[in-house]
Amino acid sequence: GGEREVQAVQRGSRGVVVNGHIVSLKYCATCNIYRPPRASHCKTCDNCVDRFDHHCPWLGTCVGRRNYSAFVGFILTTTLMDSFVMGTSLFVLHLEGAGGLMGMSIFLGAQRHPDVAGLAVFACLWLVFLLLLSGLHLVLLSSNVTTNEQMKGVWRDRDNIYDHGFLSNVYLALLSPIPESVLSPGARVALDIEGGFGAGVGGEGSAGATHEHRMLSVLPRV
């Protein structure tokens, strides 16, 4: 049910039916595959990601179908932790400032402990960013929209075919079972001895390649 209602239009075709709507599959020349709906190729990770949301520079990995719930949990818990650090720092400054009027005591405490004051300011700046990021993803997941789709305006002028209602969207994003990786740890890939990987798992490399390629068993990125 839900987003998993995907079926081939006909055998050998390049389109699928998603919740009653025909979606064309895009071909990835790098991975040598027809990508599933909502999948996209990440230039940084150099692989296609199912239900691609975005590439996170802070984590150094892509966020997609298999780790989106973990990502949302991470930013929410980080927001709570940062709130705790800021609140604790302000409370310490208040106590060190003789515990009078809140604003004045914090100011006096900051003069006595500039290190704690610096920590409070640092935590406050990060809290603004984390609250905006958390709010953005809570809004996106509630309507089953990815960051990539939001930035490209995919659903700006048409109905979102993946929107199943608030509760179902939250369940799909955070509570649905995590599918197994389609990448095989024992897959054989073409390795260019002079540097870099050939195009595609088990492929022949790029057209017109002159360097020798050797088949090696490696652990691909998941």
In a domain, 211, yes or no: yes
In a domain, 213, yes or no: yes
pLDDT score for 193: 58
How big is the CA angle at 205 (ends 203 and 207), to the nearest 5 degrees?
Answer: 120
* Tokens 């940084």 sit on residue: 44
pLDDT, tens digit (0-9, with 9 covering 90-100), for 116-162:
999 999 999 999 999 999 999 999 999 999 999 999 999 999 999 99
pLDDT score for 97: 83
CA 45 to chain centre: 12
Domain span holding position 189: 183-222
Comparing CA positions, the residue from 175, 149, 152, 174 lying closest to residue 162 is 149
Q: Give me the residues paired with residue 40 across strands.
A: 49
In a domain, 4, yes or no: no
In a domain, 44, yes or no: no
In a domain, 176, yes or no: no
Is 56 designated active site? yes
Residue 116 one-letter amino acid? V
The span from the CA of 49 to the CA of 36, in Å, is 9
Selected catalytic residue, list 48, 56, 62, 124: 56
The span from the CA of 164 to the CA of 176, in Å, is 14
- CA torsion sign, 42 to 46 to 48 to 49? negative
Instruction: Give the dihedral of Cα atoms 15, 18, 22, 25; nearest 10 deg.
Output: -30
In a domain, 173, yes or no: no
Q: For the chain, how many structural domains are there in total?
A: 1
pLDDT, tens digit (0-9, with 9 covering 90-100), for 182-213:
877 677 766 665 544 444 444 333 443 333 33
DSSP state of 177: P
In a domain, 215, yes or no: yes
pLDDT, tens digit (0-9, with 9 covering 90-100), for 21-54:
889 899 999 988 999 999 999 999 999 999 999 9
The count of C-alpha atoms lying within 13 angstroms of the C-alpha of 92, restricted to the half-sphere facing its C-beta, is 17
In a domain, 199, yes or no: yes
The span from the CA of 22 to the CA of 199, in Å, is 29
